[in-house]
Structure 1
Amino acid sequence: MSMVERFESITLSRKRVHHILQNFKKSSQQLGDDRNAIRIVEDKGKKLVVKSFKIPNAVNKLAYRFLRDSKAKRSYENAVYLQQHNIGTPAPLAYLERVDTLSFKDSYYISEYAEHDYTYRELINDNTIENKEEVLKAFTAFMFKMHEAHIYFLDHSPGNTLIKKVGDSYEFFLVDLNRMKFYDIPYEDRLKNFERLSPKKWMYDIMGAEYARLSGKDPAESIATMWSYTQKFQEKYHRKKRFKKKLKSIFS
């Protein structure tokens, strides 16, 4: 079966993307512990990030071949959309995917590397980080701006926001972008979009009050709603974790 490449880039040629992917295979600079391979690649004096998505199962191979956009394509297009609306994300450079006549094979997303000081997850757990209240208020303003641009980030987990201190302010960069919705977001949906970020109530006291202030809403109600969604998410998450652990013990 003949192989076909589907490719898009504003700045890179196909030949250069192939060169970057060759270096990706040689790179030992792994990022994160992910089911997808994510590595830093040095290219012409710049640090790039290449994400190779896990090869899908048989059903999704057909779906990505004929019915749905791949995760690589969605990551690239969503990053372009974020940049067009001045929402921080590592600069998108290209995506490339390979298909044959009947099936989807593999896919890659390439972006610049965003220098950062820590992630939102570290903000939760690292007690040496200073001015956490100011960081959370700035982050909430970032979320408000994103929602005003009709962007709902479905994978809004703590590892997917990079944070950089610049002078007396903070910049935020979203990563892992393949799952987003774009619509006029109702207020309750906006509060729900915070549910995966932290298990700590004090953080929601700050974020809920700040989001209410920016929105002209009641702070107490906003905090209560935000925290209620978070508690439901945490309960579901831990229930699923316990179930997986039980299955593992049964079949081990």
Structure 2
Amino acid sequence: MRIITHSKYKGKEKALLQLVASFFNEGNLIVKGSRNTIKSNVFENEKVNIKYFKKPGIVKSIIYSFFRSTKAKRSFDYANYLLEHNIPTPFPIAYMEERSGSGLLGDSYYVSQQIDYDFTIRELIHNPLFPERNIILEQFTEFTFKMHEANVNFLDHSPGNTLIIKKGEGQYDFYLIDLNRMKFENLSIEARMDNFKKMWLSKTMVKVIAKKYAELSGDSEAKLHKILLEKTKGFKRNITKKKWLKRKLKRK
């Protein structure tokens, strides 16, 4: 098992490896997926999250072993990049990779500090009367704008992947999670609006975000509203179409 730790956790590799070794027997389950599992645990009196990436199939194992960074490594590296650019994310502690004698990737893990959050954007989508909804959306837009200015194209910018903490009246902090799918590039205004499309925005939410992003970027509010509305509608149509096709194929 190979382990890479943040400099703040140097000398604690053995203890971290022991923590991961007990992953399936200890800790509290947060997410159980077909390929990834997330648990919370305690490491030296500190709450941590451990994300387990199941051993990939042979083709992906070869790709991740020799041609592309593993999901665990990307999560760790991208978290460090975000923090270097003052974009909050749970602090990256370490990542571990199991390798066979031939160097092929087996199971891997990513360990980060746990964030005790209050809600996500998902709650705002389902509740139009959510307290301070527009204020939160405006601050979320500022958060996303800052991310774009740092050349971050977060490919999984979806309702559940930004944790929100209420700091006080009208004051909120945002933390990115599920980091392993990102591109680092200069984004055009169209690409920036496209990055919001997975948020499943209502027409009202589109208006709020377009107005705030226009203030921050200096672009025309009408222009941004048009692009964002088109991107949002197109994404929703594609999802609806895919669901319809799946139902149709199941009936056959």
Matched, 1:18 2:21: no
Q: Which residues of structure 1 form unaligned runs of 5+?
A: none
Query: Which amino acid in structure 2 is aligned with residue 225 of structure 1?
Result: I
Q: Please, what TM-score do these two structures have when normalized by structure 1?
A: 0.92
Mapped to 2, the partners of 1:77 and 1:122 lie a distance apart of: 29
- Judge conservation of contact 1:27–1:40 (CA < 8 Å) in 2: no
The Cα of 1:249 is off from its aligned counterpart by 4.2
> Residues 141-189 of structure 1: CA distance to partner in whole angstroms, max 9, x if unpaired?
1111111111110011111010111123110000000011111211111
The Cα of 1:20 is off from its aligned counterpart by 1.8
Task: Give the equivalent residue in structure 2 for 1:195.
Answer: 197
Give the count of matched residue pairs.
247
> Residues 97-136 of structure 1: CA distance to partner in whole angstroms, max 9, x if unpaired?
1111152101100000112110111121145630100000
> Residues 213-236 of structure 1: CA distance to partner in whole angstroms, max 9, x if unpaired?
111111111011011111111111
Task: Give the equivalent residue in structure 2 for 1:93.
Answer: 93
Mapped to 2, the partners of 1:64 and 1:136 lie a distance apart of: 37
- Judge conservation of contact 2:37–2:52 (CA < 8 Å) in 1: yes
Mapped to 1, the partners of 2:62 and 2:7 lie a distance apart of: 28
What SS does structure 2 have at the residue aligned with 1:11?
helix
Q: 234-243 or 133-142: which moved more? A: 234-243
What SS does structure 2 have at the residue aligned with 1:159?
coil
Mapped to 2, the partners of 1:60 and 1:211 lie a distance apart of: 38
Q: 1:5 to 1:197 in 2, by over 3 A?
A: same
> Residues 182-212 of structure 1: CA distance to partner in whole angstroms, max 9, x if unpaired?
1121111111110000241111110011101
Q: 1:134 to 1:247 in 2, by over 3 A?
A: same
Q: 15-24 or 215-224: which moved more? A: 15-24
Task: Give the equivalent residue in structure 2 for 1:73.
Answer: 73
Task: Give the equivalent residue in structure 1 for 2:130.
Answer: 129
Query: Which amino acid in structure 2 is aligned with residue 76 of structure 1?
Result: F
- Judge conservation of contact 1:39–1:50 (CA < 8 Å) in 2: yes
- Judge conservation of contact 1:155–1:179 (CA < 8 Å) in 2: yes
> Residues 40-81 of structure 1: CA distance to partner in whole angstroms, max 9, x if unpaired?
112222210000013212210111111110000000000000
Matched, 1:216 2:218: yes
Matches within 5 A, 1:146-225: 146-168=147-169, 169-225=171-227
Mapped to 2, the partners of 1:127 and 1:224 lie a distance apart of: 22
What SS does structure 2 have at the residue aligned with 1:24?
coil
- Judge conservation of contact 1:124–1:198 (CA < 8 Å) in 2: yes
Mapped to 2, the partners of 1:140 and 1:225 lie a distance apart of: 15
What SS does structure 1 have at the residue aligned with 2:214?
helix
Q: Which residues of structure 2 form unaligned runs of 5+?
A: none
- Judge conservation of contact 1:9–1:95 (CA < 8 Å) in 2: no
Task: Give the equivalent residue in structure 1 for 2:33.
Answer: 34
CA RMSD of aligned residues (A): 1.7
What SS does structure 2 have at the residue aligned with 1:59?
helix
What SS does structure 2 have at the residue aligned with 1:157?
coil
Query: Which amino acid in structure 1 is aligned with residue 94 of structure 2?
Result: A
Q: 1:239 to 1:148 in 2, by over 3 A?
A: same
- Judge conservation of contact 1:158–1:197 (CA < 8 Å) in 2: yes
- Judge conservation of contact 2:118–2:165 (CA < 8 Å) in 1: yes
Identity %: 38
Task: Give the equivalent residue in structure 2 for 1:241.
Answer: 243
Regions of 4+ moved over 4 Å: none
Task: Give the equivalent residue in structure 2 for 1:145.
Answer: 146
